[in-house]
Amino acid sequence: MTFKPALIIVDVQEDFCPPNGSLAVAGGRDIVPTLNELLALPFPVKIATKDFHPQDHISFASNHEPPNNKPFESTITIENPLNPSETQETRLWPDHCVQGTKGSELVPELDVSLVHAIVEKGQDKRVEMYSAFADPFKNPCVSKSNLAKILHDEGVTDVYVAGLAADYCVRYTAIDSSNEGFKTWVVGEATKAVDPSAMDQVHEEYSKVGVKVISKDAQEIEK
Ligand code: VGL
Ligand code: ZN
């Protein structure tokens, strides 16, 4: 049996971290020492992702009309731009991770010198893209990153996911990773959620697709 693990650090960017992030996740910056511990382990493939939106991105409440434009609260229905019969319900957010802004930068405490590649996502203004692999539309998919290709080309078998946010980008990245054929693990204490009360639901989804939540000290992690 071959075993080639990859570590994926999701969206550890200024806008997702206190004190100044526009979409700060409580405790977001506190996981960085744990992420650096993971980055110091001998994973043969280490990747960081960045949410990287244009200013006119569909997920920004500021790009929608009242009354249905309240960040964190309003949801909208978006149509697949390539197939209007396919729709997705999606939440609106404050402007965040706009390309070229301070908020889009990886936090400086994160040891990015240990990362082999940085994968950007969310550049297509027409679709939300929580997963670092692809947008949620399937018939057809609208926007895909190069993450699956990088992992397949490297012969990766197992993917370990950590970062922000546990209930959005970590969740959908882990689920897509599993559906992409990688044995997938989420490092529990190396993530924080926008809404911690959503995590029971997230764990249910993980158990359906075979994603396992583990501790950074678990023996399943490459040492
Ligand atoms: C994320 C909300 C909006 C995330 C990205 O990285 O979890 N959450 N865009
Ligand atoms: Zn976003």
How much is the ipTM here? 0.98
Distance between CA atoms of residues 56 and 127, nearest Å? 11
Average pLDDT over residues 195-209: 98
The whole-chain average pLDDT of the chain stands at: 97
Split at pLDDT 50, 70, 90, the class of 220 is confident
Split at pLDDT 50, 70, 90, the class of 222 is low
The single residue listed with the structure tokens 């493939």 is 45
> Could you tell me which residues are beta bridge partners of residue 137?
none
Q: How far is the centre of ligand 2, averaged over its atoms, from the C-alpha of 123 (Å)?
A: 9
Share of the chain above pLDDT 90, in %: 97
Q: What pLDDT, in 10s, does the model give residues 8-23? A: 999 999 999 999 999 9
Which DSSP symbol is given to 15? G
pLDDT on residue 135: 98
pLDDT at 1 over 90: no
Share of the chain above pLDDT 70, in %: 99
pLDDT at 157 over 90: yes
Q: What pLDDT, in 10s, does the model give residues 45-74? A: 999 999 999 999 999 999 999 999 999 999
CA–centroid distance for 43 within its chain: 19
Ligand 1 pocket test: pick from 9, 14, 16, 170 the residue with the most ligand atoms within 8 Å of its Cβ: 16
Q: How far is the centre of ligand 2, averaged over its atoms, from the C-alpha of 60 (Å)?
A: 8
Distance between CA atoms of residues 112 and 116, nearest Å? 9
pLDDT on residue 223: 59
Distance between CA atoms of residues 140 and 44, nearest Å? 32
Q: How far is the centre of ligand 1, averaged over its atoms, from the C-alpha of 209 (Å)?
A: 21
Query: Which of ligand 1's atoms lies nearest the C-alpha of 53?
Result: 9
Q: Is 169 a catalytic residue?
A: yes
Q: Is 149 a catalytic residue?
A: no
Render 164-216 in DSSP notation, one character per residue.
Answer: E-TTTHHHHHHHHHHHTT-EEEEEEEEEE-SSGGGHHHHHHHHHHHT-EEE-T
Q: Catalytic residue among 46, 111, 169, 176, which?
A: 169
Distance between CA atoms of residues 37 and 42, nearest Å? 11
Question: What pTM was computed for the model?
Answer: 0.98
Q: Helices marked H in 82-168 — which ranges?
A: 147-153
pLDDT at 91 over 80: yes
Number of residues assigned to the chain: 223
CA–centroid distance for 182 within its chain: 16
Does a cis peptide bond (omega within 30 degrees of 0) precede residue 165?
yes
Query: Which of ligand 1's atoms lies nearest the C-alpha of 13?
Result: 6
Which residues, at least 6 apart from 195, have a Cβ–Cβ distance to it below 8 Å? Answer: 167
Average pLDDT over residues 146-160: 98
pLDDT on residue 19: 98
Ligand 1, CB within 6 Å, residue ranges: 11, 16, 23, 51, 93, 130, 164-165, 168-169
Q: Is 11 a catalytic residue?
A: yes
pLDDT on residue 180: 98
